[in-house]
Amino acid sequence: MLTRIDHIGIACFDLDKTVEFYRATYGFEVFHSEVNEEQGVREAMLRINGTDDGGASYLQLLEPVREDSAVGKWLAKNGEGVHHIAFGTADVDTDAGAIAEKGVRVLYEQPRRGSMDSRITFLHPKDCHGVLTELVTSAQPSAATD
Ligand code: CMX
Ligand code: CO
């Protein structure tokens, strides 16, 4: 069951400048940052709020580390902006399987490693009315709360 907005993924050209915009404008601080080589991104997670399933909701700021990565290609075509949305679930395998049975293309056969050791998969934007959609199971939901 999808129980929260886990994050909104925002593509940017300069992660440090974008982090500073969110800090100076809204007061949001970096909760976690990492490079995910497989996904081809340098990213910062800004924690916005906790949720009643023990998880949280974040903004995920994404800077490509390679031009031919998903975010690099998207930025070259569209410029900065909202790249994807991500729903949180306690069981990404079951939810991805159930959604695939409805005819929506799930991009990974098995979930891959996402931010903070979460397990993630994606649904094809052309099957989701133009929205690249990610499904996320946090490593430890309790660790995502203060
Ligand atoms: N949102 C909406 N539509 C998108 C999109 C996005 N983020 N990315 C691509 N598309 C659309 C394109 O506009 C294009 O549409 P048209 O044919 O109408 O022009 C179509 O999808 C194909 O796009 P493409 O540029 O040729 O790109 P690819 O097919 O090579 O890749 C996708 C698209 C979704 C398969 C790829 O981006 C992907 O695998 N994404 C999942 C991984 C990812 O995004 N990782 C980064 C985030 C990591 C994280 O969240 O942790
Ligand atoms: Co994401």
Q: Following DSSP, what letter does each residue of 71-122 receive, concatenated?
A: HHHHHHHH-SEEEEEEEEES-HHHHHHHHHTTTPPBS-SS-EE-GGG-EEEE
ipTM exceeding cut-off 0.90 for this assembly: yes
Q: Determine if ligand 1 sits within 6 Å of the CB of residue 115.
A: yes
What is the domain count for the chain? 1
Backbone phi and psi for residue 82, each to the nearest 5 degrees, phi listed first: -70, 120
Q: Report the CATH number that the domain containing residue 50 is assigned in CATH.
A: 3.10.180.10
Q: How does pLDDT run along the chain (146 residues), one tens digit per residue?
A: 999 999 999 999 999 999 999 999 999 999 999 999 999 999 999 999 999 999 999 999 999 999 999 999 999 999 999 999 999 999 999 999 999 999 999 999 999 999 999 999 999 999 999 999 999 999 975 544 44
Q: Is residue 101 within a helix (H) or strand (E), and if so which, with residue range?
A: none
Indicate which atom in ligand 1 lies nearest the CA of residue 40. Answer: 46
CA quadruple 90, 93, 96, 97: dihedral, nearest 10: -130
Question: Does the beta carbon of 72 lie inside 6 Å of ligand 1?
Answer: no
- Domain boundaries, position 139: 2-144
Which ligand has an atom closest to residue 71 CA?
1
Q: Give residue 27's region: left, alpha or beta (phi > 0; psi -120 to 50).
A: left
The protein residue whose alpha carbon is closest to atom 4 in ligand 1 is 125
Alpha helix segments (H runs only) across 27-62 = none
- With a 6 A CB cut-off, is 39 part of the ligand 1 pocket? yes
List of residues 6+ apart from 101 with CB closer than 8 A: none
